[in-house]
């Protein structure tokens, strides 16, 4: 039997309208879909009715299917000749472990196609009008994970001195420590924001400074999944734009 193919698909940060055309077309080919919790279920409207949908978790701090088991399931389905859509929130190659899955599949001789998605680090700050780069303020951006692996810890002091906008994924559980460490290289009044459920209707955000952000987040009851943005352009933040649904209703 000829092996099937696996598509590693980025579903974007949450708003289904940010799904790419290529992702929609590849979802339409699927026999089996393995979908993460952070991917919006609305993307499943583009999957054929006959396709099997398998939920594999993958949400920080919650029970989820082990990575080895996900990779084993991908191999099993592809070896059975099926077309498999592996759907991840954001982009599969930005803190999505897509690289690990691609390596496992290629090592087994399975064809893989990567379908990029809009990562939260790009889309979520934009909901508040926060540019990640700006000629008058900052000339670069760094994406970094606040979730340590086997004791690995980013050099927060060095990142603070980099002069870049910092976009921190998976940092909410360690926010107090992170903001304290960043103050070794940045002023306490550096603008900072935490944005939960970015691009979704239930989005909530707190905008403050490095000195106040952790306490403000706790007072507001924000939690994961959320993105933290630090840098001078956070000071340009404004109320989030209205959703497409509200705009359609206004002009209906």
The predicted-structure confidence for 14-38, as pLDDT tens digits, reads as follows 999 999 999 999 999 999 999 999 9
Dihedral angle computed from the Cα positions of residues 174, 180, 182 and 186, in that order, rounded to the nearest 10 degrees:
150
The mean pLDDT value for 53-73 works out to 82
| 33 three-state secondary structure | strand
Q: Which of 15, 58, 88, 164 is catalytic?
A: 58
Look up residue 228 and give its two tokens.
């933290």
User: What is the pLDDT confidence band of residue 250, given thresholds at 50, 70 and 90?
Assistant: very low
Q: Which of 5, 15, 102, 170 is catalytic?
A: 170
Look up residue 103 and give its two tokens.
């390596």
Other beta carbons less than 10 A from residue 38's beta carbon:
20
pLDDT at 239: 83
User: What is the pLDDT confidence band of residue 65, given thresholds at 50, 70 and 90?
Assistant: confident
Q: Give, rounded to a whole angstrom, the gap between the first and last alpha carbons of the chain.
A: 53
Burial of 194 (0-12, 13-18, 19+ CB in 10 A): buried
170 has catalytic annotation: yes
CA 192 to chain centre: 18
**CA dist., res. 245 & res. 222, Å (int):** 24
pLDDT at 245: 44
CA 88 to chain centre: 8
77 and 5 Cβ atoms separated by less than 8 Å: no
Q: Which of 5, 36, 88, 91 is catalytic?
A: 36
58 has catalytic annotation: yes
């Amino acid at each position: 039997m000829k092996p099937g193919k696996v598509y590693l698909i980025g579903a974007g940060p949450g708003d289904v309208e940010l799904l790419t055309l290529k992702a929609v077309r590849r979802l339409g080919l699927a026999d089996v879909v393995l979908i993460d919790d952070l991917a919006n279920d609305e993307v499943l409207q583009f999957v054929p009715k006959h396709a099997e949908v398998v939920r594999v978790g993958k949400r920080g701090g919650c029970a989820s299917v082990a990575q080895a088991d996900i990779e084993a399931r991908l191999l099993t389905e592809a070896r059975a000749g099926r077309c498999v859509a592996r759907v991840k929130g954001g982009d599969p190659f930005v803190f999505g472990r897509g690289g690990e899955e691609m390596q496992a599949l290629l090592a087994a001789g399975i064809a893989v196609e990567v379908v990029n998605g809009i990562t939260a680090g790009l889309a979520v700050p934009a909901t508040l009008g926060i540019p990640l780069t700006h000629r008058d303020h900052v000339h670069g951006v760094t994406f970094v994970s606040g979730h340590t692996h086997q004791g690995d810890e980013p050099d927060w002091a060095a990142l603070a001195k980099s002069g870049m906008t910092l976009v921190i994924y998976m940092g909410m559980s360690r926010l107090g420590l992170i903001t304290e460490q960043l103050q070794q290289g940045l002023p306490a009044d550096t603008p900072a924001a935490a944005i939960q459920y970015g691009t979704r209707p239930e989005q909530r955000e707190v905008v403050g400074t490095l000195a106040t952000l952790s306490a403000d987040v706790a007072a507001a009851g924000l939690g994961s999944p959320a993105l933290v943005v630090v840098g001078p352009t956070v000071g340009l933040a404004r109320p989030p734009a209205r959703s497409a649904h509200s705009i359609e209703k206004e002009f209906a």
